[in-house]
Amino acid sequence: MTAPRVAWIGLGNIGRGMSQNISKKGPQTGPLLLYNRTTARATAHASNLPNTKAVTTLAEAVTQSDVIFTCVGDDAALNSIVTAILSDPAIPQDLSEKTFVDCSTVHPDTSRHTETAFNARGAGFVACPVFGAPNMADAGLLIVVPAGKRAAIEKARPFFDGVVAKKTIDLSAGEGMLMLDGLLR
């Protein structure tokens, strides 16, 4: 298996640290592509990291990557990104070569909706909430909890332990979504 091309969408407090660690320690090929709705933030962050490039559109991030990470502030922001990706005519309808990994803290219903939307276009999806403060993200010491289909999790796994996380708690194929749903009730 060849190393994937990777994009990171969302450069808040956690996203900056996680993307920094992927840039420095991840197994991707080519530059890590950074997208943020505020382009200046992506450009500034990319200028401080090795093998990293800021892109100005979601289409650039998605079409040039195999694995696309998102880490945004809330459900509305994630829904907005998913809608923009799925409605952009510059992004192919067939996303079967793509795996989306969402590290945002969102409601399980939002994760299910996102998974259904991406799966309908052939893409893999991993709901991957992360636990830890921004300083832990900077140090690559988060706890990640991937949930989804095994094949999608396996594509994302090389970016977890030793890259963005100190520990991975794997909750594959539905059990993770049920556990997260139970925690939020």
Domain chopping of the chain, boundaries: 6-184
What average pLDDT does the segment 145-156 reach?
A: 95
Residue 113 has pLDDT above 60, yes or no: yes
Least confident of 111-120, 136-145, 169-178: 169-178
Mean pLDDT of 56-63: 98
Mean pLDDT, the chain, integer: 93
CA–CA separation, 62 vs 52, rounded Å? Answer: 15
Confidence of residue 180 (pLDDT cuts 50, 70, 90): low
The whole-number pLDDT of residue 179 equals 55
Q: How far apart are CA 5 and CA 51, in angstroms?
A: 12
Which range among 38-42, 128-132, 167-171 shows the weakest confidence by mean pLDDT? 167-171
Structure tokens at 96: 């079967």
- Starting at the edge strand found earlier in the chain, the sheet holding 6-9 runs 52-54, 32-35, 6-9, 67-70, 99-102, 124-127, 147-148
**Interval 105-112 mean pLDDT:** 95
Nearest CA-CA partner of 160 in 95, 101, 85, 96 = 101
Alpha-carbon distances of 108 from 25, 61, 175, rounded to whole Å: 30, 25, 12
**Residue 171's pLDDT band (boundaries 50, 70, 90)?**
confident
Which residues sit opposite 8 in a β-bridge? 34, 69
pLDDT in tens, 61-82: 999 999 999 999 999 999 999 9
pTM confidence score: 0.92
Residue-level pLDDT at 145: 95
* CATH fold label, 6-184: Rossmann fold (3.40.50)
Both tokens assigned to 110: 């939002």
pLDDT at 134: 98
Q: Which tens digit of pLDDT belongs to each residue from 1-20?
A: 578 999 999 999 999 999 99
